[in-house]
Amino acid sequence: MMKEKKKHTWRHKDLLGIENLSEEDLVLILDQATGFKEVLARPIPKVPTLRGKTIVTLFCEPSTRTRASFDLAAKRLSADTLNIAASSSSFLKGESLKDTARNLEAMKIDMIIMRHECAGAPHFLAGEVNAAVINAGDGFHEHPTQALLDIYTIREKLGKFKGVKVSIIGDIAHSRVARSNILALSKLGAEVTVCGPKTLIPAEMEKMGVRVVYGLKDALEGADVINVLRIQLERQKKALFPSTREYINLFGITKEKLDRHAKEDVVIMHPGPVNRGVEITQEVADSRYSVILDQVTNGVAVRMAVLFLMGHNKNLEQKEVPTKLHN
Minimum CB separation of residue 142 from other proteins in Å reads 7
Task: Determine the Cα–Cα distance for residues 122 and 201; give it in Å rounded to an integer.
Answer: 24
- 264 in contact with other proteins (CB under 8 A): no
Give the Å distances, CA to CA, from 196 to 35, 251, 258: 36, 7, 16
67/179 with CB nearer other proteins: 179
Measure CA 244 to chain center. 26
Minimum CB separation of residue 292 from other proteins in Å reads 24
- 208 in contact with other proteins (CB under 8 A): yes
> Using CB under 8 A, which of the segments 138-146, 221-229, 258-266, 273-281 binds other proteins?
138-146
Minimum CB separation of residue 95 from other proteins in Å reads 12
Residues 37-96 interacting with other proteins (rule: CB under 8 A): 96
- 235 in contact with other proteins (CB under 8 A): no
Minimum CB separation of residue 24 from other proteins in Å reads 22
Which member of 25, 110, 138, 191 binds other proteins (CB under 8 A)?
138
CB 172 within 8 A of CB 204: no
Which member of 53, 76, 141, 303 binds other proteins (CB under 8 A)?
141
Task: Determine the Cα–Cα distance for residues 53 and 319; give it in Å rounded to an integer.
Answer: 21
Which member of 37, 67, 116, 303 binds other proteins (CB under 8 A)?
116
HEC per residue, the chain: CCCCCCCCCCCCCCECCCCCCCHHHHHHHHHHHHHHHHHHCCCCCCCCCCCCCEEEEEECCCCCHHHHHHHHHHHHCCCEEEEEEHHHCHHHHCCCHHHHHHHHHHCCCCEEEEEECCCCHHHHHHHHCCCEEEEEEECCCECHHHHHHHHHHHHHHHCCCCCCEEEEECCCCCCHHHHHHHHHHHHHCCEEEEECCHHHCCCCHHHHCCEEECCHHHHHCCCCEEEECCCCCHHHHCCCCCCHHHHHHHHCECHHHHHHHCCCCCEEECCCCCCECCCECHHHHCCCCECHHHHHHHHHHHHHHHHHHHHCCCCCCCCCCCHHHHC
- 203 in contact with other proteins (CB under 8 A): yes
- 139 in contact with other proteins (CB under 8 A): yes
- 237 in contact with other proteins (CB under 8 A): no
Number of residues that bind other proteins (CB under 8 A): 25
> Using CB under 8 A, which of the segments 135-143, 192-200, 229-237, 269-277 binds other proteins?
135-143
Which member of 97, 250, 266, 296 binds other proteins (CB under 8 A)?
97
Minimum CB separation of residue 139 from other proteins in Å reads 5
21/278 with CB nearer other proteins: 21
- 12 in contact with other proteins (CB under 8 A): no
66/281 with CB nearer other proteins: 66
Minimum CB separation of residue 169 from other proteins in Å reads 18
- 130 in contact with other proteins (CB under 8 A): no
Task: Determine the Cα–Cα distance for residues 117 and 99; give it in Å rounded to an integer.
Answer: 18
**For residue 199, which of 227, 240, 169, 152 has the smallest C-alpha distance?**
240
Which member of 8, 51, 98, 217 binds other proteins (CB under 8 A)?
98
- 123 in contact with other proteins (CB under 8 A): yes
60/274 with CB nearer other proteins: 60
Q: Which parts of this chain interact with other proteins (CB under 8 A)?
A: 19, 96-98, 116-121, 123-124, 138-142, 176, 179, 202-205, 207-208
